[in-house]
Structure 1
Amino acid sequence: MADARTEVLARIRSALGDRPAPVVVPRAYHHTGTGSLDLFAERVADYRATVHQVPADDLVALIASLLGTRRIVAPVDLPPPWLVPSVTWLPDSPPLGIDALDGADGVLTGCAVAIADTGTIVLDAGTTQGRRVLTLLPDYHLCVVFASQVAASVPEALARLDPVRPLTFISGPSATSDIELNRVEGVHGPRTLEVIIVRD
């Protein structure tokens, strides 16, 4: 019995002897600092989102410029300076109903983390983000991402997140395609995504 087993294993080893060596797939996890920010901005723009990069001192002025006089949903813990006076703010306290969210012009939020390699923004319903539904119903989403929130890779981003929180991964405006690959935007979330990268 041992001889038969040895012979079978020898035949298997012989058959596998000329197989190609495993291919090493390079991973783009070496981006740091400015490189990560630039890559993140490039990838977000590839998803048809509009990207702005500003120093921290110019953030409030840019928010005012982008939002104008629109009616914007506000998570309850947005920093007070972000609540620029030209906007009609719709605070989510008490929680806004579906009709109010659907009738708003947009929503302003921060994020939990962003991923340079994929151009993805992750929300976890934490500080400055509000309830998950706030970013799913309005047709426009303005998201503020600080440089310190940009992780180089998916594993690095996941290490910063709490898996028990409600995570929403955003890679550009909401879009889907039918069987003929006709792109339709705004089906599962906002049709327009603008991202402000704050170089803090």
Structure 2
Amino acid sequence: MSAAREEILARIRGVLGEQRAPVEIPRGYTRSREPADLLGHFTERVEDYRAVVDRVTPDRLPAAVAEACTRYGVRSVVVPADVPDDWLSALRGVTVVQDRDSLAPTDLDQVDAVLTGAAVGVAETGTIVLDSGPRQGRRAVTLVPDVHLCVVEAGQVVDDVPAAVSRLDPRRPLTWISGPSATSDIELDRVEGVHGPRTLHVLLVAEPDPPGAAPDPLVPGPDPDRLVDGTDR
């Protein structure tokens, strides 16, 4: 913990006076309400943010990366040092730059795209979460290049935010991404690419559904007319 943060917390403790017992927080809300087609729901919500989603099988991922680079005219791509070589194996005529925490923002600005993995995908909100973990790199790498190619594996997709939070470590630097970077002025004119990548292209890696497979039923949530403790409203 930084000295500045500790100083601030010490001042707060001084104002509050004697120590109080931690307050028990009720956790009776729905933590998982998985839709029948979780990956389809995720895809639909991500696309609502004007992002592109390609659902590919693991063996098709290298070709999908190369096709995405061709689509956006990418001539150079930066990758975290631990990105698998296989992801890059189909690239032709694209310079691959490995980031080892040494590239300055001006260097990253010269690169056309970034290719990373992800920590979690949230179906209900169409959000991708990065935590600077494996295959994700540091935060700056995903904020400066104009195109972000993000690989999300099927097993990383959860239905809603509570489920996502339960998988994440709050001590890590979390970046929650819902579509391309976008903002608007007072007249509500939307502008993309001001605070981050102008283009978000998600490569959703999943095995094909077996023939005749039926979707899982929707897991029901709690009765909206019942309170957390089970009493009627």
| 1:146 equivalent in structure 2 | 153
Distance in 2 separating the partners of 1:133 and 1:140: 13
| 2:33 equivalent in structure 1 | 30
| 1:189 equivalent in structure 2 | 196
- The match for 1:82 among 83, 87, 103 is 87
Contact 1:117 1:152 in 2 (8 A): yes
> What is the total number of aligned residue pairs between the two structures?
174
> What displacement does 1:178 show?
1.2
Residue by residue over 1:64-85, the C-alpha shift from the partner in whole angstroms, topping out at 9 and shown as x without a partner, is: 2212462001101001101234
Identity fraction in percent: 55
TM-score (norm 1): 0.82
Which 5+ residue runs of structure 1 have no aligned equivalent?
A: 1-25
- The match for 2:46 among 28, 33, 44 is 44
| 2:138 equivalent in structure 1 | 131
Bigger radius of gyration: 1
Residue by residue over 1:86-106, the C-alpha shift from the partner in whole angstroms, topping out at 9 and shown as x without a partner, is: 221011125211111011001
The 3-state SS of whatever aligns with 1:103 is coil
> What displacement does 1:42 show?
0.1
Greater share of helix residues, 1 or 2? 1
Between 56-65 and 44-53, report the one with greater CA deviation: 56-65
Distance in 2 separating the partners of 1:27 and 1:164: 24
Distance in 2 separating the partners of 1:60 and 1:100: 25
| 1:17 equivalent in structure 2 | none
- The match for 1:70 among 55, 68, 75 is 75
| 1:56 equivalent in structure 2 | 58
Q: Which amino acid in structure 2 is aligned with residue 78 of structure 1?
A: V
Evaluate the alpha carbon distance shift between residue 48 and residue 99 of structure 1 in structure 2; reply closer, same or farther with a 3 A threshold: same
Between 90-99 and 43-52, report the one with greater CA deviation: 90-99
> What displacement does 1:55 show?
1.2
Contact 1:37 1:147 in 2 (8 A): yes
- The match for 1:102 among 102, 105, 109 is 109
What root-mean-square deviation, in Å, do the aligned CA atoms of Structure 1 and Structure 2 show? 1.7
The 3-state SS of whatever aligns with 2:78 is strand
Distance in 1 separating the partners of 2:137 and 2:161: 23
1:111 aligns with 2:114: no
Contact 2:128 2:178 in 1 (8 A): yes
Distance in 2 separating the partners of 1:35 and 1:48: 21
> What displacement does 1:35 show?
1.2
Evaluate the alpha carbon distance shift between residue 147 and residue 175 of structure 1 in structure 2; reply closer, same or farther with a 3 A threshold: same
Q: Which amino acid in structure 1 is aligned with residue 78 of structure 2?
A: V
